[in-house]
Amino acid sequence: SRDDQEARKVAEFKPQSSTFRCAFVGKVGPKIFHLAMENSGVWEDKISNYTNVTDNSTASNVNLAEACTAFTMSFLTVLGNGLVVVAIAKDPFRELRTIPNYLILNLAVCDLIVGIPCELLLGLLHYFAFQEYEHFHLAVYTLMYFSMVASALTILTLAFERYIVVAAPLHSKDYLIYSHLKLAIAYIWLIAATVALLSLLNNGNTTEFRLIVTDAIGIPTMIFMILLYQRIFYLVRRCIRQDFEESTGSRVSLVRNVPQLFVGIDRREREVAVSVFLFVGVFFLCWAPCFVVENILFFGYVNKSNNIRDELKRVIDWARFLGLLNSMLNPVIYALRYDKFRNAVKAILCSSCYPTYVSPRW
């Protein structure tokens, strides 16, 4: 009948609304209520499906944003660090081939490992949501923390090299020789490779592996960097004070208390010390949030039933992106601080602008 048809249409539209049941009374009301109860399961399925589609759409948008971020960072990281490697390796003016710059070259190679395989794999991981592929996750995190350990140890070596130059400038040439440099770089990669192998020996447990890297390598390295630079700036401050007293001609007895070994520190060495300090500061700002969140999640400082824990799991993904941002910023610091680097890049990219360009011998 017509009443049955109307009741069925309305019931399919919204079966269990109290407002609906109050609005339709009389002979149509009971039929509507009966049909509504029959169709309630269908309606709940539709609501559930709609909710799932909405959640999946939101998650897909988030994955796409994270993937685009990773791909963009990968491109910029490879571009910047590639220029650093080429500029130092093929320096046409032979001005960049110093021990600090070779350590910066090693740092750029570490950052290239982040840019080429690591950030690209991370972008694929977020875009295609390979949640069920544990080996894929393991490969991404192993490469990420392998390069992080190598970068951290390289920056620490740079800080230690600056400390030797500032603390003992007259004897630094005896300690800072190329054989020691090669040995230091070899130790850096050996330690990084050993740490990476721990992920394979731990049955693919990335959680414990990340914590080992964070607490055994990352945090102690940061502490040593801070202590070294605290000492470096103390010594540089004393040296600057001595220069000020000499330039004003007021060499009083205070100057006699300043050790004469600071005389050998020139302005160029101080500028290098400031540049390395920027490397240390950027490394700390980029990786410290990731280290903190990793420890909070692992040691259970947040209740497992608390919604904050779920939010922290989302935060940790972006904290890792911030850590990877360190590899993109390092060449920017180098380019802004060194005129010789910019000149070398110009000479390589546009050799016609520099008639004196001579191809380096190997």
Mean pLDDT of 110-117: 85
Claim: this prediction has a pTM higher than 0.85: no
In this predicted structure, the answer to whether residue 117 has a pLDDT above a threshold of 50 is yes
Look at residue 311 in the predicted model and tell me its pLDDT: 74
Q: In which band, very low, low, confident or very high, does the pLDDT at 302 lie, cut at 50, 70 and 90? A: low
Residues in the chain: 362
Look at residue 8 in the predicted model and tell me its pLDDT: 56
Average pLDDT of every residue of the chain: 73
- Whole-Å CA distances, 221 to 101, 218, 228: 21, 5, 11
Look at residue 184 in the predicted model and tell me its pLDDT: 94
Look at residue 320 in the predicted model and tell me its pLDDT: 81
Mean pLDDT of 69-94: 88
Q: In which band, very low, low, confident or very high, does the pLDDT at 47 lie, cut at 50, 70 and 90? A: very low
Look at residue 255 in the predicted model and tell me its pLDDT: 44
Q: In which band, very low, low, confident or very high, does the pLDDT at 65 lie, cut at 50, 70 and 90? A: confident
Distance CA 89, CA 83 (A): 10
**More confident position, 331 or 119:** 331
**Alpha helices, DSSP H, located in the chain:** 2-13, 18-23, 28-89, 99-113, 119-128, 134-167, 172-175, 178-201, 206-212, 219-247, 253-256, 267-299, 307-337, 339-349
In this predicted structure, the answer to whether residue 155 has a pLDDT above a threshold of 80 is yes
Mean pLDDT of 279-290: 91
What are the structural domains, with CATH classification, of the chain?
61-245+263-349 (1.20.1070.10)
Q: In which band, very low, low, confident or very high, does the pLDDT at 353 lie, cut at 50, 70 and 90? A: low
In this predicted structure, the answer to whether residue 303 has a pLDDT above a threshold of 70 is no
**What does the block give as tokens for 6?**
């109307």
From 17-21, 160-164, 234-238, the region with the lowest mean pLDDT: 17-21
Residues 6+ apart with CB under 8 A from 40: 15, 16
Q: In this structure, what is the dihedral angle of CA atoms 28, 31, 33, 35, given to the nearest 10 degrees?
A: -130
Of 1, 31, 22, give the one whose Cα is nearest residue 11: 31
Q: In which band, very low, low, confident or very high, does the pLDDT at 197 lie, cut at 50, 70 and 90? A: confident
